[in-house]
Structure formats: structure tokens, C-alpha cells
Amino acid sequence: MKRGLEAEGFGEVYAQSVQLKMLSQDGKQRVTDAADTRTLLRIIQSIKSPKAESFKHWLAEIGAQRIEEIENSELAMERSLVDNYRWSKKMELPFTLETELEARICADAEWKKGAVWGKPRPGHSEGVVMYHIAEVLANVDRLATTPEERRVLRLIALIHDTFKYRVDPGQPKTGPNHHAVIARKFAERYLDNLALLEIIELHDEAFNSWRLGAVKGRWKEAEERASRLVARLGSSLPLYVCFYRADNATGSKENDSLIWFEQFLHRRGIDVPPEVK
């Protein structure tokens, strides 16, 4: 094989291979040739054996498809959507994906890692994130008042808690190390609706405001923080409240923070839509 590669002018490819100890069939560690993916694929092209032909044909087909996609971005998108739908049918999610956008989001490798992360913990007796999402989506079906509201609330639900696995437990859970900030960065790949991005980033902010008073006794600061949240949300506040209700009615969460926030809004003369029973 080495001579074949050198004859083809690719002797440096073989030189990139290394020898590593690997477990053999007899259970012993033996020195074995190894290489990275690019080098292995180049070596396969030089194998003079009928057994390698099917693999070579597959490589040629994949290469041709990739060239077509580079030349035609619409074709690349169409194939990506098909792959996403195939994946969504195979993955055993506890809920059904309803749109192409939902399928694209949930086919993302980063999202999938977050969806299967989690163990039962305070406020999240359901444990794994995708089971929490399933509960939120069920609440969205109950609380949404229009098809459009239901559509956007579903998108928020799919993303809002899915990036807790990316949080560094050794660092303060603020700024770029907060799961909601990480979730927003991810969401920006798929969404251009500023209101949805803001709600994803701020979905825990009402709870955090309440906690400042309930745990630390700093109620004045809690209301100041909640006021900043309301100002930032602007006209998307009703949608935020609807999602807060859907998110809060899950796992082992209590209603104290939600009740406080809604009472805070009423004291300031801010109308919020009544909860659908």
C-alpha cells in the first residue's frame, strides 16, 4: 500500500499514519497502524481490491452530492430538511415535532445533547430536559389563545432550558455562563424574532427577581429588578407571562414566584391576560 501511494505521488499521506496500541481479538494490546479520517479516506482510494469498491462508490456519491450542494444552496437546504425529518422520526422524543423549523432545531447536535441531559432535582422532578419540554408543550396547548401564539410558544419551549449542560458548574451562573444566555445564542441561528429571543434569554428573570426577595429579604431590589424586566420586554410582556405560566406548571415547581410577579404587575396597573383554565 505504501508503494502504491508513493507511485501515485501521495507518499506523504502514508507518512501521516501513526502506530498506536489497540485491543486485539485475543484481548491483548498490540501496535496497530492508525490515522485520522482524511488520511484513512485517501488510503481507501488506493486499495486495489474488489472489497473496497462499494466504499469507493459511496465516497464518489457523497462527493458528487457535496459539489451539487455547493453549486446550489437551495438543493442543500432541501436535502438538509429531508435529513432533519428522517432524524426527527427516528429519535424517541416524548412529543411530536410539527414544523420544518422545529425539526431543524431538534436535529441540531447541540440541541440533542441538551435534550437528553438532566437528573431529577429541585423544581425539576421530571429530570431529563426533554421531559420538561414535553410538559411545557402540553401546558402551551392549554394556555395559548391563538394558533400563532401557540407556534411561537412552542419554539421558546424547545430551546429555553436545553443548554443547561453547557453551563460550567465551577463558574458563576451569570452572563455567558447562564443557560438562558447560551440558549439565546443558539436560538439566533434559527430565529430572527427579537421578542422570542428576549423571552428565551429572560425566561427565568421573573423567578430570579422573586427569589431576591423571598430568599434574601431584599424586596425593594426584587421589584426594581422586575421593573427592569418589564421595561425590556415591552409589548412582548403578555407572551412572556403566558410562557412563564406554562413553564411554571411543570415538575415540582411551586406557584409562589408566579403569583408574586403577577401581583407586582397588577400593583403597577399593568394588565395581563387571565389564565386559561
CA angle 268–270–275, rounded 5-degree value:
125
Q: Is the pLDDT of residue 235 over 80?
A: yes
- Which range marks the domain in which residue 18 is found? 2-23+31-71
Q: Is the pLDDT of residue 31 over 90?
A: no
Q: Are 137 and 244 found together in one domain?
A: yes
Residue 139 belongs to some domain of the structure: yes
Give 236's pLDDT tier (boundaries 50, 70, 90): very high
Give 79's pLDDT tier (boundaries 50, 70, 90): low
Q: Are 66 and 165 found together in one domain?
A: no
Give the pLDDT confidence score for residue 271 in this predicted structure.
87
Give the pLDDT confidence score for residue 49 in this predicted structure.
74
Q: Are 65 and 121 found together in one domain?
A: no
The predicted model gives 36-41 an average pLDDT of 71
Residue in 100, 132, 103, 96 with CA at minimum distance from that of residue 115:
132
Q: Are 262 and 185 found together in one domain?
A: yes
Q: Are 154 and 64 found together in one domain?
A: no
- CATH code where residue 172 lies: 1.10.3210
Q: Are 53 and 122 found together in one domain?
A: no
Tally the domains of the chain: 2
The predicted model gives 248-261 an average pLDDT of 92
| 148-164 pLDDT tens trace | 999 999 999 999 999 99
Residue 18 belongs to some domain of the structure: yes
| 181-192 pLDDT tens trace | 999 999 999 999
